[in-house]
């Protein structure tokens, strides 16, 4: 499959790219090669191939959930630069009325 100059320019426009003439020729060839390779993959017989979730046979290694004691509000607020006894005080980010 051959990608035309117009196809490359259309893709470049969608991606908001300005391409030189040299880049247009280069990308036309590269995109054609990619599509030809994908077309070759479509010709493979995969009838007896089991679908895979991932190319590597990996399993997530997760730690077991444990119920741990938390710090009290007082201990946490004692480490804060500013607080009002119940919440952290932080600089205003949004301008209010």
Q: Is residue 67 part of a domain?
A: no
Q: Are 27 and 19 in contact (CB under 8 A)?
A: yes
Confirm if 8 and 27 have CB atoms less than 8 A apart: yes
Q: What is the pLDDT of residue 69?
A: 92
Does residue 17 form part of some domain?
Answer: yes
Instruction: Evaluate if residue 27 carries a pLDDT over 80.
Output: yes
Mean pLDDT of 60-88: 89
Query: Is 83 inside any structural domain?
Result: no
Give the span between the Cα atoms of 21 and 34, in whole angstroms. 20
pLDDT tens digits, 42-65 = 899 989 988 887 788 777 778 888
CA 38 to CA 34: how far, in whole Å? Answer: 6
53 in any annotated domain: no
Query: Is residue 12 situated within a structural domain?
Result: yes
> In this structure, what are the phi and psi dihedrals at residue 88, rounded to the nearest 5 degrees?
-70, 145
Q: Which domain holds residue 18?
A: 5-42
CB-CB neighbours of 28 under 10 Å: 19
In a domain, 92, yes or no: no
Among 20-29, 52-61, 88-97, the least confident range: 52-61
- Is 15 domain-assigned? yes
CATH, residue 37: 1.10.20
């Amino acid at each position: 499959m051959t990608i035309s100059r117009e196809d490359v320019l259309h893709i470049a426009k969608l991606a908001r790219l300005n391409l030189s003439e040299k880049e247009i020729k280069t990308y036309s060839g590269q995109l054609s090669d990619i599509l030809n390779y994908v077309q070759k993959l479509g010709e493979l017989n995969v009838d007896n191939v089991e679908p895979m979730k991932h190319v590597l046979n990996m399993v997530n290694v997760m730690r077991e959930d444990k119920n741990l004691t938390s710090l009290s509000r007082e201990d946490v607020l004692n480490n804060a630069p500013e607080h009002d006894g119940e919440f952290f005080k932080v600089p205003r980010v949004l301008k209010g009325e």
